């Protein structure tokens, strides 16, 4: 089991959530989770507490934040970017439409990947 003593010291009121984070981090490297999935699994006291935890976990390289552009029809991944500022206005949809599509907020999935 992954030990996160420093994580627990940063979030002392989140002892139960920290235990659930440890279980999550024992999953295979490369496992991916949506924000909704993490909220359900970790069960923090608030969404802001989850945001703080995820920020700490990404800063300490336990998780990697990915912005995935998905096809509007099938939701298949088209491209991935490390930051929101790297996301282009258009991408080529070689999965469904065979043409450039405009990247809107509906076309971006925020994913956390175990690093």
Tens-digit pLDDT profile for residues 52-102: 999 999 998 999 999 999 998 899 999 999 999 999 999 999 998 899 999
User: Who wins on pLDDT, 9 or 93?
Assistant: 93
The predicted model scores a pTM of: 0.84
CA dist 72 to 5, 16, 80, 82, Å? 42, 38, 15, 21
Question: Do 47 and 68 touch, CB atoms closer than 8 A?
Answer: no
């Amino acid at each position: 089991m992954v030990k996160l003593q420093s994580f627990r010291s940063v979030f002392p009121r989140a002892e139960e959530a920290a235990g659930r984070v440890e279980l999550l981090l024992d999953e295979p490297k490369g496992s991916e989770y949506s924000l909704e999935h993490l909220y359900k699994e970790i069960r923090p006291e608030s969404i802001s507490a989850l945001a703080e935890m995820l920020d700490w976990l990404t800063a300490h390289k336990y998780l990697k934040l990915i912005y995935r552009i998905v096809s509007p029809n099938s939701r298949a991944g088209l491209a991935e970017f490390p930051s929101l500022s790297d996301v282009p206005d258009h991408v080529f949809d070689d999965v469904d439409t065979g043409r450039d599509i405009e990247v809107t907020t509906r076309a971006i999935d925020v994913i956390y990947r175990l690093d």
